[in-house]
Every structure is written in C-alpha cells, then in structure tokens.
Chains A and B, each alone.
Chain A
Amino acid sequence: MLTKAKWPLFVLLLPGSLIIGIVFLLPFVFLIIQSFWTYESSFVANTTFTLANYAKLFSDSYYFDVYLRTVKISLISTAITLILAYPLARFISRLGTGIKGFLLSLVALPMIGGAMIQTMGWMAMMMRYGMLNGILMGLGIAKEPVAFLGTELGIIIGLVQSFIPLMVLPLVASLGAIDISLEEAAKSLGANSARTFLEIVLPLSIPGAVSGTILTLMMNLTMFVTPSILGQNKIMVFGTIAYQQAISVGNWPFASAFAIFFILSIGLLALLARTVTKALQKSQVNNIKSEQRINGVEL
C-alpha cells in the first residue's frame, strides 16, 4: 500500500511511466517475441516458435564481424570526440556566464538540424570533387582526390562532428564546477600548469568525461544515418544491417533477434564502462587521500 505522503509522487510518475511503458516497453516485448518467429518471405513471418534467428546470428561469423566493426568505429570516434571536445570544454568553462552561454549555444547549434542535415552537408564536402578534397589538393597535401565516402574514415569524421556537443556539454558542466581556488592553491604550492592539470583538473573532470563518453558511445553504436550516407552502404554496421533486414529485405524476425542481441550487448558495455569508471574514480580519491596523508606527515 502506498502511504499518504507517496500518493502525489505516484500520480506525478504515472503519465511518464505509462508513456515509457506504451512506447518503449511494449514494443520491446513484441520485439523479443517476434525474434522467435519463423521467416517465410519478405515481410511475411509466421508465429511458429524457432531459435533459427539466434542460431544464424551466432553461427555466422559475418554478423560477429559487423558487431566488431560497429564497436571499433564507435570506440575510435568516441576517443577522437573526447580529445577534441576536452580543450574546447575547458576553454568555455573558464569564460564569463554571458559569453559561455553564447558559445555553448553555438556548439549545440548543429544538433538542431539533426543528424541527417549535418550528414548531407558532409556528403557534399567529402565528395571526390567536394570542398575537402579541394582544400587538400589546393594545399598540396593530396595529389589525387582522397576517397572519404564509402570508407570508415568518412564515417568517423561524420560521427565526431555530429556528437561533439554531446561530449562538450557534460564536460563544461564538470569543468565549470571545479573550484578555481584548488588550481590556485596547487600553483602557489609550486605545481606547474601541466601538473595542476594532471593532478587537479583532470581527476575532477572525470564524471563529466564519463557522462559524455557514455552518451557519445551509445549514439555512435546505434548510428544509422552517418554510415548509410557517408559509408554509402558499403561499410555495414549494426544500424545499416538492422535497417537492411527490417526495411529492404523484410526479415523482421531476424532483424528483431539482431536488435535484441545488440541492445543487450550495449547494455553490458555500458555496465562495464560504469564499473571501470567507478574503479578509476575510487583509485583517484585514494591517491589524493594517501598524498594528503604523506603531505601531512611531511608538514
């Protein structure tokens, strides 16, 4: 029974829970059920129970290769995004409120147009005779046009640009929350800029980096628009295979099994990332504590 005090909370939670239940959980349950159905022909399946879809998934190395490729491209893109976003976030986090807000809006601006518009823009730039090759050849960096479209490189460039805002925003929040007096104290005690950054700023910004990394990684893993347009459907990843199976081929049971497997494995990856990060943070805290103890003894 709900106590009287909890009723308002329950009522407030109800609409959101209902929406999540209807638009997410129910279709998800249906996806699980459908993954055990039997494929007959394009868009036609019968409800006879079968494990064939999962058997195909695990017995055929092709799908495992697609999975590995998806994870590889996602990890590389996420790492590059983090490296590019960090200095930008650090710079923005130091600015005054007005200019900070303005710059954050600029960073988030491309997201308003959605992935499709950004990707189409990249497509025009990455064409064999597009702007990017024009610059590279004009500067003498490349003698012949570089193939960006239809390659993993093209996809990674597109993904990094698309998801930089997702990395910058939590990083700015995290870096902005670091008390400036901590850095000043470190410097007054003789630490140079590099040491201050490595021992004060970096450890304290880990929560923002973790949030940004998980958000970006999830978006990269489930990418669809970028690989299908910039990868020209030559580079098959989870999203493009799922779309191909569900929409072009019409094998819904297999597409469902593929999706279930992928969702579960992403969940596991996220869990792993969380555990590793927690362990990292814990060791950082322990390090600081032990250093404080040593310093205390020395003093």
Chain B
Amino acid sequence: MKKTVALLFTIMMIATLLLSSCAPKAAETEAAAEEIPCDFDEQTCTFLEGKDFGGRTLVVGVWGGVIEEIYREYVIPEIEKRNGKVELLLGGTGDRTAKIYAEKGNPTMDVAYLNMYEAAKGVEDGVLEAPSNAVPAYDDLYPAAQVGGYGQAFMGLGIAYNPDYFDTPPDWADFWDPKVKGKIATATFPGGDSEGLLAAAGYMAGSDENDPDAMFSKLAELTPFAMIYTSLDELFMMMDKGDVAIAPVISGYAWTYIDKGMNIAFSWPKDPGTIQMMDTLTIVKGTKNQDMAYAWAQLSLSPKVQKAFAEQIYFGPTNSKVELEGKAAERCVYGQEKVDALLRLSTYMIDNRDSLTERYNREILGQ
C-alpha cells in the first residue's frame, strides 16, 4: 500500500512539473499580452519585436558628455523595456582598445565605440566582429560606413580658427603662413586630430601620409606649438582671445563654441581635403550578449538616434535614411556628396603608431 501511494505521488509530481514547464509562465504571458510600444522606424521595431534579454547586462564602452546623454535618453530605455540592463564604461578609445585586446577571448565589454582605424585593425586582429546585416541597419549605411565596424557618425578633421587672422576660411597650407607662427595648437599624439595634421604636413611637403620623413620635416616647421590641447574648453578660450590662431579640430566640436558667441570659426579644408573621421560602433568578438549587442547597434544606428546626434552635436549620420534640414544639414557631414568629398587616409598611421609616436615625441615635442 505504502509503495502504491509513493508511486502515485511520484507520478503526480512528474506530471505537475511537466505541465508547469509546458504552460506559459505568468510573467511571459503578461509580456506577450502587453506589447511594448516602439516609436522607432519600422525596421528597428520589427527587429526588436518579442525580444526579452532575461535581466542580462550589456556593457558598452563609449565617450561621456552629450554622447552619453543621448544614449541614456534614446537607447538605454529601449533595452530596459525589454528586460535588459546597460552599463556604460566611459572613457577614450585607447582605454577601450587596450581592454578589448587584453580580454581577447573572454571579453567583459560587449560593445565598444572606437575610431575607424582602430576598429578596422581590431576586426583584422580577430578581437572584433566584422560588421554584417545581422544588424539590419547595416544595409542602410553608406558604403564608407560599412568598413571595419558599423560607422556611427561621419566627421571631418577640419580647421578651427580665429577670424581676426584670416579674411577667407583657411586651408591646410595656411598653417604654414608666417603670420600664425607660434599661434598654432594641436592635440596630443597619437590621436585622430594630431595624426591628421601630420598627414596634412605630408601633403604640404608634396608627398602624402605614407612618407614619415616628409611629414615630420614639414610639421617641425610649425613648432613650437602655442599649445597641445587636451581640453576643447581651453583651446577655444585661447583661440577666442587670439593666443591661438588656428588648430586642427574635428567638425562638430567647434559649433557648440561658435554658438556661444566666441570669436572662432570652422573651415572645411579643400586641398588635399577635409580628412575623414568616423566614430565606429564595434561588437566585441566572443561577447556573451550578442543578441543584446545587435539590438543596441540597431538602435544606435537607427535614423531616430542618428538624427538626435546630428541635431544636438552635429555628428554626420551614417544611415542613408536619415534626413536633415537647416543648421544640422549645413554643419554635418551629410549626404553622399559630402561623404565622398572627404579624404580617407591610408592605414599607415595606425600600422606604424609605435615608430611615429617615438619620432613625434623626439622631433616635434623635443621631449
């Protein structure tokens, strides 16, 4: 008798377990019934439909300031609505790149924003995923934004200047005008801005960015620099006062200060051109949250988020579906024509950062 009761009890337990595992859970039923509102484009909404990230945390390495604010306003709530969490690691691309390589095969960061050269090298070195239409917005990116990682924002390295020194917007050659000698600023090396000026020096010497001797001898003519800037606030304050006449600055960064009424202006150089810069979204190879990373990328590249970047900080949209007007259209690298006009440097700089940095320390900084 006892055995029969025990057997019946066991059968009932198994049946209960089976039934409970087959039946939808209360929370799931609620989630299914409660459709998450989506006010993004159709492609993004379709991609996000039915996603549930099961309480996992996505780690994203990105810059702080307005960029962080835009992600907190537009992207993070969308992940949270789908039962996911986001941790932002704020900092520069150097810190992120070092972390990605150090954690190769076992990453703790899932998504990282890098510059286009670092991103392409990371894919080549097998620490980053190559971009693909696993993120549907990939197909809508301009071809120039499909290289390396997922291009997030087009920018150009142009020239910020004090208009008291120039009657017409200056070009790269004007850095060598004797009237601005000792009043030139540049950024720390290595880095996009300072590498861009070094490349421009190569062109001004009649060569290009693959010729270190030409680049360094021409750039050395500009030394000593009035300042090596680490802060745009300080750079533009000195430019406003006239202590700095001219500096290589990435488009987008100068406009905020111009709008404050400071005595500065921005020029898009033509000879040999405005140098292409691109913030690039990358997905770290081996991420345990690939689905979340794709969702993040889709949101980040969506027209809505790209438009916010363009209108708030003049970051040129890489998604061809984005439509801009007014000030944003005028100040951003926007549209195929403007994108095509940018000068894309070779990978020489990133491939030779080691030796170029040594020469820069020695020959340009004199340190």
The answer to whether A232 touches B229 (Cβ under 8 A) is yes
B353 within 8 A of A: yes
A50 within 8 A of B: no
Most A CB within 10 A of own CB, among B121, B189, B358:
B358
B168 within 8 A of A: no
The answer to whether A62 touches B362 (Cβ under 8 A) is yes
The answer to whether A235 touches B353 (Cβ under 8 A) is no
Given contacts A62-B358, A236-B367, contact A128 B238 (CB under 8 A): yes
Interface contact tally, CB-CB below 8 A: 78
- In the bound complex, residues from chain B placing their C-beta under 8 Å from that of A150 are 227-228
Residue in contact with B353 in the complex, picked from A66, A228, A246, A250, CB distance below 8 Å: A250
- In the bound complex, residues from chain B placing their C-beta under 8 Å from that of A41 are 121, 125, 351, 354
The answer to whether A232 touches B361 (Cβ under 8 A) is no
A123 within 8 A of B: yes
How far does the Cβ of B286 sit from chain A's closest Cβ, in whole Å?
16
A233 within 8 A of B: yes
- In the bound complex, residues from chain A placing their C-beta under 8 Å from that of B107 are none
The answer to whether A43 touches B367 (Cβ under 8 A) is no
Distance between Cα atoms of A39 and B227 in the complex (Å): 32
A251 within 8 A of B: yes
The answer to whether B367 touches A44 (Cβ under 8 A) is no
B23 within 8 A of A: no
Distance between Cα atoms of A235 and B354 in the complex (Å): 19
Distance between Cα atoms of A95 and B125 in the complex (Å): 63
Name the CB-closest residue of A to B191.
A248
- In the bound complex, residues from chain A placing their C-beta under 8 Å from that of B125 are 41, 43-44
A234 within 8 A of B: yes
Residue in contact with B231 in the complex, picked from A39, A44, A123, A246, CB distance below 8 Å: A123
The answer to whether B228 touches A246 (Cβ under 8 A) is no
Q: Which DSSP category, helix, strand, loop or mixed, fits chain B's interface?
A: helix
Distance between Cα atoms of A62 and B241 in the complex (Å): 36
Residue in contact with B357 in the complex, picked from A123, A235, A244, CB distance below 8 Å: A244
How far does the Cβ of B38 sit from chain A's closest Cβ, in whole Å?
39
Task: Give the contact-size bracket for chain A.
Answer: 20 to 34
How far does the Cβ of A129 sit from chain B's closest Cβ, in whole Å?
6
Name the CB-closest residue of A to B229.
A232
The answer to whether A233 touches B98 (Cβ under 8 A) is no
B132 within 8 A of A: no
The answer to whether B227 touches A127 (Cβ under 8 A) is no
B20 within 8 A of A: no
B163 within 8 A of A: no
Given contacts A42-B121, A236-B361, contact A250 B98 (CB under 8 A): yes
A229 within 8 A of B: yes
B365 within 8 A of A: yes
The answer to whether B367 touches A248 (Cβ under 8 A) is no
Residue in contact with A249 in the complex, picked from B227, B234, B357, B365, CB distance below 8 Å: B357
Given contacts A42-B121, A236-B365, contact A250 B97 (CB under 8 A): yes
- In the bound complex, residues from chain B placing their C-beta under 8 Å from that of A128 are 237-238, 241, 243
How far does the Cβ of A198 sit from chain B's closest Cβ, in whole Å?
42
The answer to whether A129 touches B354 (Cβ under 8 A) is no
Given contacts A127-B237, A248-B190, A251-B354, contact A43 B97 (CB under 8 A): yes
Residue in contact with B230 in the complex, picked from A42, A43, A233, CB distance below 8 Å: A233
Distance between Cα atoms of A260 and B188 in the complex (Å): 26
- In the bound complex, residues from chain A placing their C-beta under 8 Å from that of B358 are 62
How far does the Cβ of A82 sit from chain B's closest Cβ, in whole Å?
28
The answer to whether A39 touches B229 (Cβ under 8 A) is no
The answer to whether A232 touches B365 (Cβ under 8 A) is no
The answer to whether A43 touches B101 (Cβ under 8 A) is yes
Distance between Cα atoms of A128 and B242 in the complex (Å): 12
How far does the Cβ of A288 sit from chain B's closest Cβ, in whole Å?
48
Q: B residues bordering A, Cβ < 8 Å? A: 94-95, 97-98, 101, 121, 125, 188-191, 227-231, 234, 237-238, 241, 243, 350-351, 353-354, 357-358, 361-362, 365, 367
Can you give 9 A-B contacts (C-beta < 8 A)?
A66-B367, A123-B234, A128-B237, A129-B238, A233-B188, A233-B228, A244-B190, A244-B361, A250-B98
By Cβ-Cβ distance, the 7 closest A-B pairs, closest first, are A43-B101, A247-B94, A236-B367, A233-B188, A232-B228, A248-B94, A247-B98
